[in-house]
């Protein structure tokens, strides 16, 4: 395979930091050269709360990927998550220039710049400006207007922004770990590109990346995103509920959640029992598995209600291809049901 480029991605999450090195061939195929995953320290709900700990986590993840691949990482694409990530759709309109009145790339760029000029909060920075579609003299549904005869060109763009200070702190951590940033990418859109087909995006679909601290949600229709959001809830909320409800440690609660947990109560037999170590007691205790799963089911029901509310605000009726679940939280038994 003739190498075209080597690309590196770093996903800095609440529970883990993942680094992936991929070799891209001239025909566009990618082969994984190396990866490194470590437990994340220094982040809460996707946002850096401790610089030194975050730098160490990133550096360790990068080092592991380098050892496996034999490739020295000097730059990477880096994910951005957290509830501070926001989105909006903005229109732009220009008169088609030139004596022939045919849409040129310059006309398209001018229309996008007009749409992009919408006011966003001063404490936010723009991560993405995604073109949703064009109108040519009022005709809707135009994907590529180049060369079309027209007097007026309209465009709608999807703008994704993030809190400036959160982005600056994340960038500091990545740079301090010895890596330059090629591009900052909203986690929701990165997840969508990884798991969605073009057909699903055209039909209308949502992807929910259920992480430890947050849920990254992206909604697509007509091939492009129209809503991007981050919900401040994730797998750690389930773990916390289990720890409180069963009076055990967070580590034991997480192990119970993954080994015995499900949010599908119909799948549980009435006589199933599990053993749990209790804080402050030498001996553990035995309890019904249903007791554990009722705690999990209650929190997951609330989680999906929040997701449904966010999707309804964005236009859930535009999603005939449904919703795709991904991320560590989606591995919990019964989540799809």
Residue 1 has pLDDT above 70, yes or no: no
Task: Determine the Cα–Cα distance for residues 40 and 126; give it in Å rounded to an integer.
Answer: 26
Do the first three CATH levels of 86-163 and 196-337 match, i.e. the same topology? no
Architecture of the domain spanning 86-163: 2-Layer Sandwich (3.30)
Q: Is 141 left (phi over 0), alpha (psi -120 to 50) or beta?
A: left
Task: Determine the Cα–Cα distance for residues 126 and 163; give it in Å rounded to an integer.
Answer: 9
Q: Show the CA angle centred on residue 302, arms to residues 331 and 320, nearest 5°.
A: 70
- Structural domain boundaries of the chain? 3-83+165-194, 86-163, 196-337
Task: Determine the Cα–Cα distance for residues 71 and 63; give it in Å rounded to an integer.
Answer: 10
By the 10 Å C-beta count (0-12 exposed, 13-18 middle, 19+ buried), 336 is classed as exposed
Residue 235 has pLDDT above 70, yes or no: yes
Where does the pLDDT of residue 275 fall: very low under 50, low under 70, confident under 90, or very high at 90 and above? confident
Task: Determine the Cα–Cα distance for residues 219 and 316; give it in Å rounded to an integer.
Answer: 8
| Least confident residue range of 154-158, 223-227, 259-263 | 259-263
pTM for this prediction: 0.89
CATH topology of domain 3-83+165-194: Nucleotidyltransferase; domain 5 (3.30.420)
Structure tokens belonging to residue 149: 């005869």
Residue 337 has pLDDT above 80, yes or no: no
Task: Name the nearest CA neighbour of 320 among 188, 205, 172.
Answer: 205
pLDDT of residue 283: 67
For residue 282, report the phi and psi dihedrals to the nearest 5 degrees: -70, -40
Given 3.40.50.2300, 3.40.50.2000, 1.10.10.10, 3.30.420.40, which CATH number is that of 196-337? 3.30.420.40
Residue 46 has pLDDT above 50, yes or no: yes
Task: Determine the Cα–Cα distance for residues 308 and 213; give it in Å rounded to an integer.
Answer: 18
Residue 2 has pLDDT above 90, yes or no: no
Print the SS3 string covering 114-166.
HHHCCCCCCCEEEEEEEEEEEEECCEEEECCCCCCECCEEEEEEEEEEEEHHH
pLDDT tens digit sequence for 283-318: 678 889 999 999 999 999 999 999 999 999 888 777
């Amino acid at each position: 395979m003739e190498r075209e480029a080597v690309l590196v991605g770093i996903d800095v999450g609440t529970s883990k930091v993942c680094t992936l090195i991929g070799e891209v061939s001239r025909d566009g195929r990618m082969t994984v050269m190396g990866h490194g995953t470590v437990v994340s320290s220094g982040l809460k709900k996707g946002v850096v709360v401790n610089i030194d700990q975050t730098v160490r986590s990133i550096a360790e993840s990068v080092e592991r990927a380098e050892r496996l691949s034999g490739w020295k990482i000097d730059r990477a694409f880096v994910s951005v998550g957290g509830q501070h990530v926001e989105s909006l759709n903005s229109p732009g309109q220009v008169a088609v220039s030139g004596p022939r009145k045919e849409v040129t790339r310059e006309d398209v760029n001018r229309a996008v710049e007009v749409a992009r000029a919408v006011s966003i909060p001063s404490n936010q920075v723009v991560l993405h400006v995604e073109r949703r579609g064009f109108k040519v003299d009022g005709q809707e549904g135009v994907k590529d207007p180049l060369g079309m005869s027209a007097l007026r060109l309209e465009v709608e763009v999807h703008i994704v922004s993030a809190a400036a200070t959160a982005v600056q702190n994340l960038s500091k951590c990545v740079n301090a770990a010895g890596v330059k940033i090629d591009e900052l990418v909203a986690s929701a859109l990165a997840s969508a590109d990884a798991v969605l087909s073009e057909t699903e995006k055209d039909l209308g679909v949502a992807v929910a990346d259920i992480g430890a601290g947050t849920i990254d949600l992206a909604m697509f229709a007509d091939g492009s995103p129209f809503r991007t959001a981050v919900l401040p809830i994730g797998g750690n909320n389930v773990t916390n509920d289990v720890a409180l409800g069963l009076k055990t440690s967070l580590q034991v609660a997480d192990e119970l959640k993954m080994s015995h947990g499900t949010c599908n109560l119909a799948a549980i037999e009435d006589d199933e029992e599990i053993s749990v170590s209790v804080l402050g007691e030498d001996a553990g205790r035995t309890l019904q598995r249903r007791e554990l799963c009722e705690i999990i089911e209650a929190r997951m029901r609330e989680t999906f209600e929040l997701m449904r509310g966010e999707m309804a605000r964005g236009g859930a009726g535009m999603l005939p291809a449904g919703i795709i679940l991904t991320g560590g939280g989606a591995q919990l038994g019964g989540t799809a049901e």
